[in-house]
Amino acid sequence: MSESVLDASSILTLLFCKPGHESVMKKLSGAIVSTVSQAEVIAALIDGGATIEESRTMILSLPFEFVSFSPEEAVIAARYRSMNGFSHLAFEKLASLALATSRGLPMVTTSHDLPPEIPGVYVENDRESSHA
């Protein structure tokens, strides 16, 4: 049973042991991840010097389920994008919000770029108070 949605920032925090990674680790069991977030993480790892195969191996070694981005979630993401305070967000963040909304799950993130109130979604911000 799914318990939360992880976004790309939370996965990268975990992979690079950044502040907040311990908290994200506690959320791995039962977590789901959008394939849009999967692509974002792989791209970030490649940007950091990993090969495609190394990046793929790293992300596939983590114990969560990948969920394909659906047509319903595309509409939800577009709706979020059109809302005041959301236009600056990366599409990956909108896709994660859409997945959380469609499944009625909390979204786990370590970024601070989300508006404080998001209709229909509880956001768990797992970034520790120290800013890296």
Please name each of the domains of the chain with its CATH number: 4-125 (3.40.50.1010)
pLDDT at 122: 63
Number of CB atoms found within 10 A of residue 78's CB: 12
Q: Residues in the chain with pLDDT < 70?
A: 115-117, 119-132
- pLDDT, position 121: 67
What is the model's pTM? 0.86
CA angle 2-74-82, nearest 5°?
115
Nearby residues of 34 by Cβ (< 8 Å), 6 or more positions away: 5, 66, 67, 69, 73, 92, 95, 96, 98, 99
pLDDT of residue 120: 58
- Rounded Cα gap, residues 109 and 93, in angstroms: 9
| Edge-to-edge strand ranges of the sheet holding 31-34 | 65-67, 31-34, 4-6, 107-109, 123-125
pLDDT of residue 102: 95
Residue 93: per-residue pLDDT = 94
Residue 83 is predicted with a pLDDT of: 84
Query: Tokens at residue 15, please?
Result: 């992979």
Query: Cα(4)–Cα(14) distance, rounded to whole angstroms?
Result: 15
Q: Residue 71: what are its φ and ψ, rounded to 5°?
A: -60, -35
Q: Can you tell me the distance from the alpha carbon of 54 to that of 56, in angstroms, rounded to the nearest whole number?
A: 5
Q: Tell the residue number behind the tokens 């970030």, with chain if given.
A: 44
